[in-house]
Structure 1
């Protein structure tokens, strides 16, 4: 099986899994939002966002680093994994300590502190699970990665619904998350031993030191990314109140989840392949980067236009009328989707060509921009200010990635790929606006067909990138 076939298979597997996960997780999130109401929903999102800021301390970027290294040398799997797990065990203790100190210094109520502790434990289990997932990605065995996620949700979602349907509170829900995280980590270890290699624990302090140094750019990038996505929620809780957090989360969460699904489908699949292409086929790497950006635009732009037109119907469908204050925030945040999709591809390219330090620097600059923007906008515009800051920060990040990619690698020209999707998206949006009083499911279905028909009529799918894929698929290597 050649590289393109592997990519196609893995995108298919990942896509199906992500759709299943997205639907099930989204249904749970909607029920949580409706069950708790805006303020308690805000507490739930604060606890997750707060602990996520510390989660990278457990990982230090090791999970991302070993994808690249094991993809290039699979014989090194046991050495990387045994030392990675030891490092994570030590750093987990540090993480819990930092979470405990920080949340107590902020003077939150005892119940909220306990909830934060529980979600902190959950993020640690998730970090261990991610280590095994990283190896599966390096081996391009996405079916194992997605099996962990799906089975984890099979544990999480039914029990969470049981807890909520029996009128339990947020702390009991947090215990369910801890159980799910533990199951994911245990399942990852079991699959690793059965399908990859028998793990032999062997501590090599010099190698651990080397791993930490090599992974720091990835770790710093993840720290900055967590600040990028979580700082606004925490700042809203501190400056405003849980109501503002709940309204913002209602608008932001479905779009962030959708963005993560799409980026996980493509970026995690092409990252190991890009890493190999950088060593063996630079021309293929360049073509893949441009091709991936093109399809991210094709996917992202109609989502933005559709959400803008149907925002009221979507918010009412998801949350009910008590979350109507989130409509404008939702409309602002829709612009985040296409920018994030192409930004993630460009950032993945930088990492695959060993420019992770540059990527980290770009994310650092965008975090500074994001923090300053939130500090300026939130006091005056609350959750709307946070929404504007998110979109502007993502745009700043993409421009930074693009600048350094063009400077240190190749001029990745993608602007010309915007024209046809923009035209098709606006025509589709006009159709959706005219018929927006009809069934929303029917509108989305009909609009999608119209969008892709217009793309076909405009000749969007006849670029040399498409020919490149077709030519690659003619070669079959077992």
Structure 2
């Protein structure tokens, strides 16, 4: 393996290990926050994070991606590129902060909500600088330091936040912990960045304007992506109340943890697919079909299983106060099936140089989300007394629409009748599993989970869902994941030393 390939493999392994560790820490905090803070406080925290997610992506203005490219091409530009970006981010942050203040006053949010938004805003200021440091480290191909800082900050955040919750502190204290964690993350990254490249702060206004101009194409894509992910929370907070948003937040956070499966899948599979495609140029449709089939094989039992046990699952994890999160989680279980495929479709379409078409799909989905939320949230309040269900239903419509658009954008013949027949068999196996889990949903949650899993495995065998190609692919994926995690752990240990 040449030096370039070794660097890529090492960085991929470290990032994989970092992703696993931060996922576990995030899941742990996700389980504690709702149970100890309650629905209203969780809703306020979720609103603050969603609002600032949109503001910070606008403030970043596509500079992250631009910095990576510039520094990767010429490491000597690290200092001037980093310092120019830091100053531009700081100036744009002031504009963003003023917009947030005006928005909060216009809609007359409660005092505690405003305080939480301001505290989260301070952590996001650090986050903007962290983004610049991460981009510089990524351009220098030193992702291990970025991962180390992320793991250290996330660990401290999780430990201190859980400790404060156990001691009886409230949501404002938890919000301040995010500021501390962000400060630690930034400090670690700056220390390592200075070891790699001397940092001399200088600013050229013309260079700053040029950076914004060059970053604007990236801004457009990422702004719509973040808005698509966060606009539900903003609209729910406007139309209903913090408690309803808290119900939505608990389900949404848990939904996010289930996306670890396709994320790991994509990370492990696509390098293998790329190598196979290089050796067999005509094999791309076949490789896409295999990936589509395997993600369907994974997503259907997870999605339908979540639908069946959503109510007892949410009560078990978060307490009786989050009973209303159950229906929301059930709807998001259906969304999971579509989202898994969208992650694959989006990646594949981009890989065949049709990223502009996929960006248009994202824009349409984002624009459609707003009227859907405005229609479905009040409707679900009147029909079910739970507007959060409306936010989840809007997600169903947009994710399904993206699947349809993605399938249309695929080259002709990529998916065929065999794919359709495979999908039918997987769905039949999933429905059999879901029916059993649904019938046992009132029992201790482990019983429907185990029974449903057994039925799904038996159904998969009966319907001959997993053939030789699928088994071979599963073995390849498993080996890739094991290899990457193994290397990642070794690399993480080396960083720690």
For the pair shown, which has the larger CA radius of gyration, 1 or 2?
Answer: 2
After superposition, give the CA deviation of every residue in 1:12-59 in whole Å (9 maximum; x if it has no partner).
Answer: 655554443333323323322122222222222222222222111221
Conserved 8 A contact 1:58-1:124: no
Conserved 8 A contact 1:99-1:120: no
Q: Which moved more, 1:385-394 or 1:156-165?
A: 156-165
Query: What is the 5 A alignment of 1:330-409?
Result: 330-352=329-351, 355-381=354-380, 382-404=387-409, 406=411
Task: State the Cα RMSD in Å.
Answer: 4.2
Query: What is the 5 A alignment of 1:89-104?
Result: 89-104=90-105
C-alpha distance in structure 1 between counterparts of 2:415 and 2:169, whole Å? 53
Corresponding residue pairs, total:
467
**2:53 maps to 1:48:** no
With over 3 angstroms needed to count, the CA separation of the structure-2 counterparts of 1:182 and 1:268, relative to structure 1, is farther
Q: Which moved more, 1:154-163 or 1:454-463?
A: 454-463
Counterpart secondary structure, 1:399: helix
C-alpha distance in structure 1 between counterparts of 2:341 and 2:70, whole Å? 26
With over 3 angstroms needed to count, the CA separation of the structure-2 counterparts of 1:423 and 1:71, relative to structure 1, is farther
Conserved 8 A contact 1:137-1:269: no
Counterpart secondary structure, 1:335: helix
State the Cα distance separating 1:101 from its structure 2 match: 2.2
With over 3 angstroms needed to count, the CA separation of the structure-2 counterparts of 1:362 and 1:134, relative to structure 1, is farther
**2:320 maps to 1:314:** no
State the Cα distance separating 1:293 from its structure 2 match: 4.1
State the Cα distance separating 1:340 from its structure 2 match: 1.7
Conserved 8 A contact 1:137-1:272: no
C-alpha distance in structure 2 between counterparts of 1:71 and 1:278, whole Å? 30
- Provide the residue aligned with 2:115 in structure 1: 114
State the Cα distance separating 1:377 from its structure 2 match: 1.0
- Provide the residue aligned with 1:33 in structure 2: 34
Conserved 8 A contact 1:300-1:341: yes
Conserved 8 A contact 2:426-2:465: no
- Provide the residue aligned with 2:228 in structure 1: 228
C-alpha distance in structure 2 between counterparts of 1:127 and 1:272, whole Å? 30
C-alpha distance in structure 2 between counterparts of 1:258 and 1:179, whole Å? 28
Q: Which moved more, 1:344-353 or 1:297-306?
A: 344-353
In the alignment, structure 2 segments of 5+ residues that lack a partner are 381-386, 481-497
Conserved 8 A contact 1:46-1:234: yes
Give the alignment's TM-score, normalised by structure 2: 0.78
- Provide the residue aligned with 1:327 in structure 2: 326
In the alignment, structure 1 segments of 5+ residues that lack a partner are 474-478
With over 3 angstroms needed to count, the CA separation of the structure-2 counterparts of 1:349 and 1:246, relative to structure 1, is same
Conserved 8 A contact 1:402-1:412: no
Conserved 8 A contact 1:11-1:265: no
Q: Which moved more, 1:455-464 or 1:43-52?
A: 455-464
State the Cα distance separating 1:267 from its structure 2 match: 5.6
- Provide the residue aligned with 1:476 in structure 2: none
After superposition, give the CA deviation of every residue in 1:345-398 in whole Å (9 maximum; x if it has no partner).
Answer: 333344455554433322111111111111111111122211100111122233
With over 3 angstroms needed to count, the CA separation of the structure-2 counterparts of 1:211 and 1:221, relative to structure 1, is same
- Provide the residue aligned with 1:59 in structure 2: 60
Give the alignment's TM-score, normalised by structure 1: 0.81
With over 3 angstroms needed to count, the CA separation of the structure-2 counterparts of 1:153 and 1:9, relative to structure 1, is same
C-alpha distance in structure 2 between counterparts of 1:342 and 1:371, whole Å? 23
- Provide the residue aligned with 2:256 in structure 1: 256
- Provide the residue aligned with 1:156 in structure 2: 157
Conserved 8 A contact 2:440-2:447: no
**2:456 maps to 1:458:** no
C-alpha distance in structure 2 between counterparts of 1:296 and 1:200, whole Å? 48
Q: Which moved more, 1:278-287 or 1:211-220?
A: 278-287
